Structure 1
Amino acid sequence: MFIPVSARMPQAIETVGNEITTNYPMICYNGALIIDKDGQTIASQPMEIAEAESIIKLVSEEYPDVAWNVYAAREWLSPRMPANLNEERIVQVESTRATLEDVANLPSCHKTLLIGQPQEITELQKKLQQEFTDLNIVKSSPILLEIMAKGIQKGQAVKQLIDFYKVPIADTWAFGDNYNDEEMLKAVGHSVVMGNAPADLKQNADEVTLDNNHDGIAAALNKML
C-alpha cells in the first residue's frame, strides 16, 4: 500500500502520486486530513475558521506584501498575488481567487499558509505564536509559514492509518528527508532516510538511501525484492 504523506492539499499530492499509481490513501496537511483510496475522509482535524479569519485580517493590515492561502479539504482560496501564483506553478493546482469574506463562508480550515520574505515570515511566526497559542505555527521554509490545529503531525497521522488498516508495525516503512518527517519515521517498523537529509536525522534511521535526485526510494525498494 502506497501512502503519500505531505503538508500539501489532496490535488497537489495527486500531481506527484498519480505518476506512480492510482486510488491510494493519503495524509494531507501533515495529518489534519486523512483520506482513503476512494477519497473518503478517515480523519479530519481542522482549525477554527474564525482563527483563520483573524490571522488573514492581521496579515492584510500589518503585512500587506505577505500572501495568504486557506485550505479546506480540496478547496484552496487565495488573493492570487504573485507569491500565490508561484505556489500554483510549483504544485500544478490553481487556487480560487478569494477575499476575507469568502474565507468566512468556509465550514472549516485544514491549513493556512503565509508566503513572504524571510524577515516578515520570522516576525509573523513570533507574533502569531504569542497570539494563537492553540495553533501549530511552523516554518516549512524561510518564506513559508504553515498554520494548523495543535497536535497535527505526520507521525500521529501514520499511526492512525496503521490502526485503520490493521497493518502490523513490522510491515511498515517510511521514507523522509527532513525534521518534519522525524515522528513519522519513528512511527513505523522500518525508517529510511534520504541521502539529502540532515546528518543527525540519518544517525537515527534504520537505513540511509540515495538522495531524492537519484531515485533514493527506488534504490531502497529494490533491495527488498
Structure 2
Amino acid sequence: MNYRLIALDVDGTLLDDHHQLSEKTIQTLREVHQAGLRIVLCTGRGPGSAIPVLEELGFEGVLITHNGASTVQSPGPEVLHTIGFPMRELEQLVLYCRENHIHFDVNTSLELFIEKADDEVLGMYERFLITPKRVEDVLVMDGTVKLTMFGTGEQLDRMQQVIGTELILPDTLHSIRSGVEFIDVISLASSKGNALKQLASSWGIKPDEIIAIGNYYNDLDMIRFAGLGIAMDNSPDDVKEAADETTLSNNEDGVHEALLKHVLAPLTAKRNQ
C-alpha cells in the first residue's frame, strides 16, 4: 500500500512518559516526510503546546488539536476549522467542579483559561508547555471549543460516573477520556476521526492511504477511520482490540517501529527491485 498521510497522537504515542521525543523517532519521521508523506499531529493539546512538538521534528504544517475541535496551520498559527459551543451549556458541570474541587480549564482555539490553580496543577501545565490565562468566571467566555477536567485517575473515574447520571450534558456535547488524568468535553461533532476525515478529503487522500497511530480512547475513531490503525503497546485493551495491529510502547520507539515496517522498509524494497 502506498500511504500518503501519517496521523499521530502526541502524548503516550509520539512522546515517551517523560514527554520527550527520541532521536530515533525524530529521524524516522523526517525520512518519512522526505519520502513525500504528510505528517499530521492529532492531539488533545491546544496549538500552544502541540506546535513546539511539530517544530522539534523540524516540520511546519497542519495540526488537529483539542481532540478534533480545532484544525490549525503552523506557522501562524492560523485556525483553519473550529467547532465551538456556548459556555453556558456547561453551567451545571462548572458548578459541580467548583463545589467538588475538580480542576478544570476552558479552551478557545488558541488559548487556555483557568479560574484558579494550585502548585500541582501549575506544574502540570508547565510539563505540557502551557501558560494559562486567568479569568474570574469562565461561564461568561465566548469562543469555547473544549473544557478539560484534570485530577487523579480515581477522581476522574468518579466524574465519568457522574456525567450522565447526576449531570446530564446537552445533546450537542460529549465527554471523552483523553488520558488517565483528563476528561474533555467538546462538541458532539468534534473528534480526531472527524477532523482527520475532513482534512484528508480536502487533500484528496483516501482512508486506505492513511496510517493512524494512537494510544487512548480519544484516538479510537481516528484508528478506526484510517486504512491502517495502529495502537501503542501501552494502550488499554479496548484500544488495541479496535486497531489493526499493535506496535511497541511509547517508551520503546513504537512509532519508529511502525513506520519502519509499513513505510520505510517497503520503500527501500521497492527501490531495490
**TM-score scaled by structure 2?**
0.72
| Structure 2 match to 1:140 | 178
Work out whether residues 64 and 195 of structure 2, in 8 Å CA contact, stay in contact via their aligned partners in 1.
yes
Q: Is residue 202 of structure 2 the alignment partner of residue 164 of structure 1? A: yes
**CA RMSD, Structure 1 to Structure 2 (Å):** 2.3
- Given candidates 69, 75, 86, the residue that maps to 2:105 is 69
- Structure 2 partner of 1:115: 150
Please tell me whether the aligned partners of residues 137 and 148 of structure 1 are also in contact (alpha carbons under 8 angstroms): yes
Once the two structures are TM-superposed, the CA of residue 106 in structure 1 deviates from its matched residue by: 3.2
TM-score, normalised to structure 1, is 0.85
The CA deviation at 1:41 is 2.4
Provide the rounded CA distance (Å) in 1 between the counterparts of 2:255 and 2:230.
Answer: 8
| 1: CA distance, partners of 2:258 / 2:157 | 37
How many residues of Structure 1 are paired with residues of Structure 2 in the alignment?
A: 221
Greater displacement, 212-221 / 75-84: 75-84
Unaligned residue ranges in structure 2 (runs of 5+):
1-37, 265-273
Moved more, 172-181 or 51-60: 51-60
Distance 1:125 1:201 in 2: 18
- The one of the two structures with greater contact order (alpha-carbon pairs below 8 A, sep at least 6) is 2
Most deviating of 185-194 and 204-213: 204-213
* AA partner of residue 151 (structure 1): A
Distance 2:86 2:155 in 1: 24
The verdict on how the C-alpha distance between 1:209 and 1:138 changes in structure 2, with shifts beyond 3 A counting, is: closer
1:218 aligns with 2:256: yes
CA contact (8 A) 1:15 1:91 kept: no
Is the CA contact 1:136–1:149 (under 8 Å) kept in the aligned structure 2? yes
User: In 1, are the aligned partners of 2:216 and 2:235 still within 8 Å (CA)?
Assistant: yes
Q: Tell me, what secondary structure is at the counterpart of 1:112?
A: strand
Using the TM superposition, give the Cα deviation of residue 59 of structure 1 relative to its aligned residue in structure 2, in angstroms. 2.2
Give, in whole Å, the separation in 2 of the partners of 1:117 and 1:203.
26
Q: 1:165-184: per-residue Cα shift (whole Å, max 9, x none)?
A: 11133321111122321210
Equivalent position of 2:126 in the other structure? 89
Q: Offset of 1:97 from its aligned partner?
A: 2.2
Does the residue aligned with 1:4 lie in a helix, a strand or coil? Answer: strand
Q: Which residue of 2 aligns with 1:28?
A: 65
Identity %, equivalent residues? 24
- In 2, the alpha carbon distance for the partners of 1:20 and 1:152 equals 26
Instruction: Show the 5 A alignment for 1:159-198.
Output: 159-198=197-236
User: In the alignment, is residue 14 of structure 1 matched against residue 51 of structure 2?
Assistant: yes
